[in-house]
Amino acid sequence: MSLDRYLRTWGCDFGKLVFPYSKFSTIEEMRNCTQFPSIEDFQVDKDIDVEVYKKCKNLFQTRMALPTNDPMKWYNFSDYLKYYNLSDVSPTAKALQNQFELFQTEFQLCSYQCMGLPQFGRKAMYKMYDKNAPAIFTFPEQSEATKIFRNGIVGGLVNVYKRHVTLDQSEDVPPAAKYNKNGKLLLISAHMP
């Protein structure tokens, strides 16, 4: 998903700015550029909304026209590049906050404690797992599920699925993740090789 779409999805009304990625090869070229590039320079890489282009051009021209002693004054296109890069940071942080707050509400899990969305997804999946369901399952050799797995794997069936096991008795998981088949708590032996 594009950054612009991500920001709109998570409630940030910030509109992404535009940049002519293919126009400049070096920072020196940007420093020598004191006129806002044409819309065609921006459209080399992707379609550009004319209104967004006009907004960015107006911003550039306004900042360039400021008096020399004004701290908001721009001197060349490298100033626009800096503004362009920094303009993504605050809206993205706000969008992430909105996303993580929704995840917290819906899954009662703190996203900030996960190393990434895959880890969060795994924790959310286990949280929704029926506590009375078996933690391990298999398919008969000739089942449709086995055929689907085999058709999607190149080089033989080599995927290894790790059973979820925890020694944290406060963790909310299926019983099979805490107890062995005899109903005893799983413990790590100090004499393990």
Contacts 24+ apart (CB under 8 A), 9-13: 9/95, 10/94, 10/95, 10/96, 10/98, 10/99, 11/94, 11/95, 11/98, 12/91, 12/94, 12/95, 12/98
Least confident span in 61-65, 135-139, 168-172: 135-139
Q: Which residue has the higher pLDDT, 184 or 187?
A: 184
Distance of CA 124 to the CA centre of its chain: 16
Together in a domain, 82 and 140: no
At residue 172, the pLDDT reads 81
Separation CA 20–CA 139 (nearest Å) = 54
- Per residue in 57-116, pLDDT (tens digit) is 999 999 999 999 999 999 999 999 999 888 877 788 888 888 888 888 888 888 877 787
Q: Do the beta carbons of residue 172 and residue 127 sit within 8 Å? A: yes
How much is the average pLDDT of 20-30?
92
Q: Do the beta carbons of residue 57 and residue 35 sit within 8 Å? A: no
Task: Decide if 93 is inside a domain.
Answer: no
Q: Is the pLDDT of residue 191 over 50?
A: no
Task: Decide if 113 is inside a domain.
Answer: no
**Structural domain that includes position 53:** 17-87
- pLDDT-derived band at 189, boundaries 50, 70, 90: very low
Task: Decide if 4 is inside a domain.
Answer: no
- Among candidate residues 53, 87, 121, the one where a domain is terminated: 87
Task: Decide if 102 is inside a domain.
Answer: no
